[in-house]
Homo-oligomer: A and B are copies of this chain.
Amino acid sequence: MTISLDALYRDLHAHPELSFAETRTAGIVAAHLRDLGLEVTEGVGRTGVVGVLRNGDGPVIALRADMDALPVVEQTGLPYASTVRALGADGVETGVMHACGHDMHVTWLLGALERLVAERGTWSGTVVALFQPAEETIGGAKAMIDDGLLDRFPRPQIVLGQHLTHIPAGVVSLTAGPAMAGADSITVRIHGRGGHGSRPQSTIDPVVTASAIVMRLQTLVSREVQPRDLAVVTVGFLHAGTKSNIIPAEATLGLSVRSLDAGVRARLLDGIRRIVEAECQASGMTVPPEITVDDTAAATINDVAATERLRARFAERFGADDVIDFGTRTGSEDVNEFSTAAGVPLVYWFVGGLDPVAWRTAEAAGRLEEDVPTNHSPFFAPVLHPTIERGVETLVEAALENLGPATR
């Protein structure tokens, strides 16, 4: 049996599922794992799937892929573009899209497991394949751990994983040490006083207050942190009101905060609280705002020695030109939850998926930021080749680097 990875990827892409709703995806994963002969457990951390591939004594390694999609209306125009709609976290119906490449992550890991099964004569040990739900809401890794992951399955000695990103297909980037920022998701709800749109004087207008908050939050990064420190404060959503002639009573803002340094993080979080509270006071609001940290992802810190070993192996296999180090990313991950909980090293790297020609054109024009659709963009559209092949190879090589030799 050979999986057609192209068909698998296109199918997953066309059927994205939001966090903790990955039931169709999990079913496909579990079926494939059973076909490959692995021990399969579904429902680990609600919708997660664990596959165990035992191959004699030797090291235990974890290979991780995340499965969930995003509330984004796909605009790629691809023949296999998603037309799926679902209710988002805020109860509003939205499009759903694999705008962050988790469909590719699943494809890669299934492809790599197929290779490892086929080549089981060349290595020894145990591979634990983690198909994680809900990475986008930073809850899935923790859910699997809380569901007994480390007790119910072989405990890994290293955690390995990879992410699709907007560098040319075929290129791989590894960063030793701090590889990705920490993230906090924060919901802010402010309470004004609603009323008729023609009588603002009898209301406290939360739309104005929310707008003042957004403008003021910009100053946290522009004025309050060291100019070279990693710091991002994004207001990803802002919702207030239902009708132009009604001043609503409330507004809700969703913030995403990125940082590496604990001091910077504290400064940003304190600053958000300070600004939101003061702006509510400036508006004369008497009900205090609600500021909730919904979830927190730690920074992703790669083991330096294990990363450098892998860098050397990748360079030897793929050529030095295709192995780069683009430095710390401002994006965030919960893959570190597995390594931290197990107390073992992590290596997490990036694999390119962009059409190399389009990338070079944009680079030559100095328009990489403007013209290349990045992760989370409604236009994010990786090319299938050599993206699929390279991602399978990297995972297989990383596994072999950390498994034992053939035992006979």
Contacts and interface: CB of A to CB of B under 8 A. Distances in A.
By DSSP majority rule, is chain A's interface helix, strand, loop, or mixed?
mixed
A12 interface: no
A70 interface: yes
A225 B186 CA distance: 23
Interface stretch (A23-31, A33-41, A233-241, A341-349): A233-241
Given A200-B223, A211-B215, A245 B194 contact: no
A201 B219 contact: no
A66 to B, nearest CB: 14
A93 interface: yes
A222 interface: yes
Given A215-B215, A247-B376, A258-B198, A238 B240 contact: yes
A278 interface: yes
Contact of A234 (B217, B247, B271, B279): B247
Contacts of A215: 208, 211-212, 215, 218
Contacts of A242: 71-72, 88-90, 92, 94, 236-237
A155 B197 CA distance: 34
A88 B243 contact: yes
Contacts of A236: 197, 207, 241-248
A23 to B, nearest CB: 20
A298 to B, nearest CB: 15
B214 A234 contact: no
Copies of this chain assembled into the complex:
4
Contacts of A301: none
A332 B198 contact: yes
Contacts of A136: 243, 245
A400 B117 CA distance: 68
Contacts of A366: 263
A254 B244 contact: yes
Contacts of A222: 200, 217-222, 233
Q: Name, among A136, A195, A205, A378, the residue most crowded by chain B CB atoms within 10 Å (CB to CB).
A: A195
A386 B375 CA distance: 54
B232 A197 contact: yes
A294 B243 CA distance: 12
Nearest to A366: B263
Interface string A174-215: 000000010101110000011111111111010110111111
A241 B218 contact: no
Contacts of A93: 91-92
18 contacts: A71-B242, A71-B243, A187-B244, A196-B331, A197-B234, A198-B256, A198-B332, A201-B223, A201-B226, A201-B227, A202-B374, A208-B219, A215-B215, A219-B283, A228-B330, A234-B244, A238-B240, A282-B282
Given A212-B215, A246-B376, 18 more contacts: A72-B246, A88-B242, A92-B93, A99-B246, A100-B196, A195-B373, A197-B256, A202-B374, A203-B223, A211-B214, A216-B282, A227-B230, A228-B328, A237-B244, A238-B251, A247-B376, A271-B284, A278-B282
